[in-house]
A = this chain, B = another copy of it.
Amino acid sequence: MTDNSINQLKVLLGEIYDLNSTLAVLGWDQQTYMPTGGAEERGSAMATISRIMHLKITSEELQKCLSICEAQAAGWPEDSDEARLIKVTRREVDRRIRIPADWVASFAEATAIGQEMWEQAKGTSDFKRFQPFLERIIDLRREYASFFQPYEHIYDPMLDEFEPGLKTADVLKIFAILRKEQVALIKEIASRPQVDASFLRLFYPENVQWDFGVEVVSRMGFDWNKGRQDNSAHPFTTTFGMGDVRITTRLIPDNLASALFSTIHEGGHALYEQGFSPAFFRTPLATGASMAVHESQSRMWENLVGRSKSFWTFYYPRLQSLFPSQLGNVSLDAFYKGINRVEPSLIRTESDEATYNLHIMLRLEMEIALLEGKIEVRDLPEIWRDRMKEYLGVVPADDAHGILQDIHWAGGLIGYFPTYALGNVISAQVWEAVKKDIPDLDDLIAQGKFEVLLSWLRKNIHVHGAKFETQELVQKVTGSPIDPHPYLKYLEAKFKEVYS
């Protein structure tokens, strides 16, 4: 009897997994290969699949089956896969049940067309073109918040979608600490002699950039039988299943760092997705614990590994051999400093570690103000320019390099940006834990040996998939809840070295 119910639950969840995976395929194609003419029908298709998935998650059949399973699970070990599967399902069912199916379909449609219009608007740097579509998305997101009343903060329901269990108040507390320290750090750095990074903006043929990126993610451990890489306007990772995890990159000929670090970043996400326990096949446990934990993996590979001296001790000779005319006369030390140069800049994904979180804080402020109705979508370009000037002292020449740079809002991802900064924070906490277990980690990396690191991550984080919530997992792995201080300590140490 017990077996029957949990097996029945798995059948129902398997179907939902398939629908989710299908949505991922539709979304991936939309961002990689779809011709412009396909936008409208793709929007319909994604809306239909989203609505069907929503109805399955909120179906009486699933709820009934889940209730039986919950009753049976009362005596099971709290940490067993089955008990956790039931818990994670309950969380999602309870969230979904508040959302009307029509809203889900409208939202899917609005974000499908939104992403298409964002791409067009970004291409012509014409925010007006995107404005009505973003207005629609913000309206839908405000409606979404209303389904979760009463809440402590209107942003809580957004955050909860990507960070189950975390509250806006917690995030604002962490961000307040980060802001204070990071602003001081940036000021301190600004007073030091500048670092040269101009060699990163020479001409780097796209195909060689691509090949080097493939070399790096391969060595990181990316399994090409279970994934692939394509081009897209905005790099991302998406998962069709444990056997098919895809990353994308964006090659810019006169910007070596852009594709390189975004490829390593997405590779970090992908390693997580390729590393779930096989026991989680076609269940909701076969996903990351949260977006912040996901970002902790991608940002760790991108920054703590990919921008480290050890990493380039191994890879720099190889990179020089691929780009002899561009890098032949640049020393390892100069290269290392160049890729870690701190300079308040326009593009989040290309910003340095010292300023990155400020981009996030600006997005979060705007998201909260939009939801609270304190600002209007039409005013965003101007507000963006003003705040960028205030926070970072730089002003974009056009909207493509300003408010339009990121696809997230077009895809309906309101509540997502904070997870990037939280990911940074967690990555440093995890890194301290890794180093405790692997004292010679730097040496291994300097020899191009990433297996020990990957095995550690697999065993301590990846294999668990979505079994544990963020705070629970961070506590388990690092012995403490989310704490911004290790990250600040890491930043200070690093930039003391770079700006010595």
Q: Which residues of chain B have C-beta atoms less than 8 A from A38's C-beta?
A: 226, 240-241, 243-244
Give, as a whole number of angstroms, the nearest-CB distance from A481 to chain B: 35
Contact call A228/B33, Cβ cutoff below 8 A: yes
C-alpha gap A33/B25 in the complex (Å): 11
Count how many chain A residues have C-beta atoms less than 8 Å from C-beta atoms of the other chain. Answer: 39
Give, as a whole number of angstroms, the nearest-CB distance from A51 to chain B: 8
Contact call B48/A18, Cβ cutoff below 8 A: yes
Q: Among the listed stretches A39-47, A388-396, A433-441, which one makes contact with chain B, having 4 or more residues with CB under 8 Å of it?
A: A39-47
Q: A40: nearest residue on chain B (CB-CB)?
A: B243
Q: Which residues of chain B have C-beta atoms less than 8 A from A45's C-beta?
A: 18-19, 21-22, 25, 240-241
Give, as a whole number of angstroms, the nearest-CB distance from A55 to chain B: 10
| A181 CB–B CB distance under 8 Å | no
- Name A242-301 residues within 8 Å CB distance of B: 242-244, 282
Contact call B49/A22, Cβ cutoff below 8 A: yes
Contact call B35/A228, Cβ cutoff below 8 A: yes
| A36 CB–B CB distance under 8 Å | yes
If A40-B241, A41-B282, A226-B38 touch, whether A48 touches B19 (CB-CB below 8 Å) is yes
Contact call A243/B39, Cβ cutoff below 8 A: yes
| A486 CB–B CB distance under 8 Å | no
Give, as a whole number of angstroms, the nearest-CB distance from A397 to chain B: 29
C-alpha gap A230/B224 in the complex (Å): 20
Q: Which residues of chain B have C-beta atoms less than 8 A from A15's C-beta?
A: 48
Assembly stoichiometry (copies): 2
C-alpha gap A49/B40 in the complex (Å): 20
| A223 CB–B CB distance under 8 Å | yes
| A216 CB–B CB distance under 8 Å | no
If A22-B49, A29-B25, A35-B243 touch, whether A14 touches B225 (CB-CB below 8 Å) is no
| Main SS class of interface, A | helix
Q: Which residues of chain B have C-beta atoms less than 8 A from A36's C-beta?
A: 225
| A34 CB–B CB distance under 8 Å | yes
Give, as a whole number of angstroms, the nearest-CB distance from A305 to chain B: 24
Q: Which residues of chain B have C-beta atoms less than 8 A from A226's C-beta?
A: 35, 37-38
Q: Which residues of chain B have C-beta atoms less than 8 A from A40's C-beta?
A: 241, 243
Contact call B230/A44, Cβ cutoff below 8 A: no
| A26 CB–B CB distance under 8 Å | yes
Contact call B230/A35, Cβ cutoff below 8 A: no
Kindly identify which residue among B37, B41, B52, B227 contacts A227, using a CB–CB cutoff of 8 Å: B37
Q: Which residues of chain B have C-beta atoms less than 8 A from A241's C-beta?
A: 38, 40-42, 44-45
* Extra inter-chain contacts (20) besides given A18-B48, A42-B241, CB under 8 Å: A14-B44, A19-B49, A21-B45, A22-B22, A22-B45, A33-B228, A34-B244, A35-B224, A35-B225, A35-B226, A35-B227, A35-B244, A37-B223, A38-B240, A41-B240, A41-B242, A41-B243, A42-B240, A44-B241, A45-B241
Q: Across the A-B interface, give the 7 residue pairs with the lowest CB-CB distance, nearest first.
A: A41-B241, A38-B244, A37-B243, A37-B226, A18-B48, A18-B45, A37-B225
